[in-house]
Structure 1
Amino acid sequence: MSNETDTTELPGEPPLVVHWRRSAQARRISLRVSGLDGKITLTLPRRAASRHGHDFLNERAAWLRAAVSALPGQCGVAHGTAIPLEGASLTITPAAVRAARVEGDCLLVPARAEPAVRVLAYLKLRARQRIGERVAHHAGLLGRPAGRISLRDPRSRWGSCSSAGDLMFSWRLIMAPPEVLDYVAAHEVAHLAQMNHSPAFWAEVARLMPGYQAPRGWLRAQGSSLHRFRFTPA
């Protein structure tokens, strides 16, 4: 069992907010910077004195700033923002349209609407369409029906398959190259036959999508970049 207990602001330029976390499982103090959202977490064993946490943090201040500086910058979605869609870069452009649509290298959005809201709705709709198509394709090859498909925005996984055969996917996959979305769809459909990551499971993935290793590698190397886009209205 663990819980977040406090925050500390590390002075400097820029100041860094460090979230403190006490954990019954922790055996030593550790410091982590999330590659997804940049959150800094200092974890201490439950009975460790707070002064040890402060000492640990001060000793590693230089490392912490270097780690934060290496993160890809967060990007708010607004008019003029370049955003990936199925691997292509599109510029969000206000236009006299009633609904978001792609035209050339632009993603047109209604001029008077909040762009972040409209773009998010468009990405989710397109993700549902593409993921639904690829799940149906792979489930047909596998010869097993897929359950309900849901879209979410998880931070630690791109998809999942429940014991009932229901599938969950990150809608952010629609921003990745098409073969990456296809790989995740094949991966989760393969779990309908093998609820594990055994050699038999990977054999099923290879049968459903030969050459899956390349898009899997892209996801490991560049997947975190899809989380840098924030869709909170300005």
Structure 2
Amino acid sequence: MDFTYIIQRSAKRRKLTITVERDRSIVVHAPEGTSDEKIQQVVESKRQWIYEKIGHPQKYQELPHAPGKETVSGESALYLGRQYRIEVIKTDANEIQFSQRFLIPAKLAKQAEALREWYIGKAKEKIVPRVMHHAHQLGVDVAMVKIVDNRYRWGSCTVNDNVNFNWRLIKAPMFVIDYVIVHELAHLIESNHTPRFWNIVRAQTPKMEKAKAWLKENGQLLEEVI
């Protein structure tokens, strides 16, 4: 076997699954007590699938890393697919305001987490209702929706019908967010990337190809704090 993988065992997990993260790392999620030999057998049986995932051009294309920015007046930050100007203002307010630009209290400007927390709040406000909308349209039941901090995955679903979405998605256009949501929900119907799976996603998100292209071109920009 000419690749390495990380094993994560959990007492709550009932089924062994393999994920290939966006940094090409391979993670095996296994029920507690699963032997190394059993895991190796499963990984070996999935060798071709793993190679396909590692080489997936949409998911792993190398992109130039965007330069880091600071929360200073004149800079800009990405939100729902558009760049908006940052203005640092003197105010007694303790939170960031948004009105076609980011108004950041001076006392928060040097706190790297301030804008991140704003993004997370907006992700919960806008992404969760979209998940429920698409779940209704697809006729699937979702146990729980979580906004998570997972740098290398845009979304995931669990064996318990929970779905998780990366807070960084809130920087993408809504048609891209919809695509990622439907992609994960479709896994509740069809677990693998079969022709049926892609037909489900395409039917629910007509801009699927445009969304995949946007992520291919701009995915790394979403991973910047600003």
Q: Who is 1:210 aligned against?
A: 206
Q: Who is 1:82 aligned against?
A: 76
Matched, 1:146 2:142: yes
Structure 1: gaps spanning 5 or more residues: 1-23, 28-34, 37-67
Q: Give the CA deviation at 1:154.
A: 2.6
Alpha-carbon contact 1:146-1:165 (below 8 Å) kept: yes
Structure 1 consecutive aligned stretches of length 4 or more whose deviation exceeds 6 Å? none
Alignment of 1:9-88 (within 5 A): 25=2, 71-80=64-73, 81-88=75-82
Alpha-carbon contact 2:116-2:225 (below 8 Å) kept: no
Alpha-carbon contact 2:175-2:207 (below 8 Å) kept: no
Matched, 1:186 2:182: yes
Alpha-carbon contact 1:77-1:115 (below 8 Å) kept: no
**Cα distance in 2, alignment partners of residues 223 and 26 from structure 1:** 25
Q: Which amino acid aligns with 1:140?
A: H
Q: Which amino acid aligns with 2:83?
A: S
Sequence identity (%):
29
Q: Give the CA deviation at 1:115.
A: 4.5
Structure 2: gaps spanning 5 or more residues: 5-21, 24-61
- Please report the TM-score for the alignment, with normalisation by the length of structure 1: 0.64
Alpha-carbon contact 2:145-2:164 (below 8 Å) kept: yes
Q: Who is 1:94 aligned against?
A: 88
Q: Who is 2:103 aligned against?
A: 108
Q: Who is 1:173 aligned against?
A: 169
Please tell me the root mean square deviation across aligned C-alpha atoms, in Å: 2.4
Q: Which amino acid aligns with 1:109?
A: I
For these two proteins, the number of residue pairs brought into alignment is: 167
Alpha-carbon contact 2:155-2:184 (below 8 Å) kept: yes
